[in-house]
Amino acid sequence: MELKTVDLAVEEHGEGTPLVLIHGFPLNRQIWQPIVPLLKSKARLILPDLRGFGESPREVEGYSMRLVAADILQLLDRLNIEKAIIAGHSMGGYVALEFAHAYPHRLKGLALVASQADADSPERRQARLITAREVRSRGIRYIADGMPSKLSENVEIQHQLNQMILTCDVAVVVAALRAMADRRDANLWLPEIQVPVLVITGAKDQLIPPERAHSFIKLVNKGWMVEIPEAGHMPMMESPQRTAEALFQLICAANGC
């Protein structure tokens, strides 16, 4: 889909309340496929590949969470959508939080899936930058071979994630890692968010444990948390039914039902 400053690969399903599903790093829109059949009769699902990922063109210049949030705004404009529920997984959650801060008038609801509001600690930021250097020097297999087992215990899902990561461009992965390392602390504007906020967390998440969700919820006005016992960092793939049910609750809350 051609936007003002970037082209994005986008697929849509269903009708009704717009729900934008933003994938995490270093993946693509395919992670949401397990919940599409469960929600397409309840909402208008919009699944973009973020700039540089999936089938979207390889764009790396000026990569930042704010830039990608602006891409989502352009997408809403292109689809003539005044307000949407924005749901982001992991890095997609960072994008969703930037969207909520920059464009609150376009937000109908917010969901973070295996994500957080915290900026990177100095140690975590340094680790990301080291990973970026290693990917640049050793190639995409540096993360494709080791990262999936940290995202899910399910071997079949690990294989799917491995295949997604292998499609990534090295320069895009490096740019995204640096952008995440430089992202802002979203805790600063959480109290300003006036729409319903859902946090979905996996009890087995090795990267962003449920404790982060507890801290997050305390700072928002209209928020609640759903913890999925059998899920790790990929709830939409590991437990699509529970994830879809939670998102449907958000759709209802956003519509005042």
- Domain of residue 23, CATH code: 3.40.50.1820
Q: Residue 114 carries which side chain, given as an amino acid letter?
A: A
- How far the first Cα of the chain sits from its last, in Å, is 33
Average pLDDT, the chain: 96
Is residue 77 in some structural domain?
A: yes
- The angle formed by the CA atoms of residues 183, 188 and 193, to the nearest 5 degrees, is 105
Q: What average pLDDT does this structure show over 235-249?
A: 99
Dmax over CA atoms of the chain, in Å, equals 52
Residue 193, in any domain of the structure: yes
**Length reported for the chain:** 257
Q: Is residue 148 part of a domain?
A: no
- Inside any domain, residue 50: yes
Q: How confident is the model over 104-111, as a mean pLDDT?
A: 98
**Residue 120: pLDDT above 90?**
yes
Number of structural domains in the chain: 1
Residue 204 contacts residue 227 (beta carbons within 8 Å): no
Q: Is residue 189 part of a domain?
A: yes
Tokens of 51: 């700039």
> Which residues form the domain of 16?
10-117+184-254
Examine residue 36 and state whether it is found in any structural domain, yes or no: yes
Q: Structure pTM?
A: 0.97
Element (H, E) at 54: none
Dihedral angle over CA of 100, 119, 152, 234, nearest 10: 0
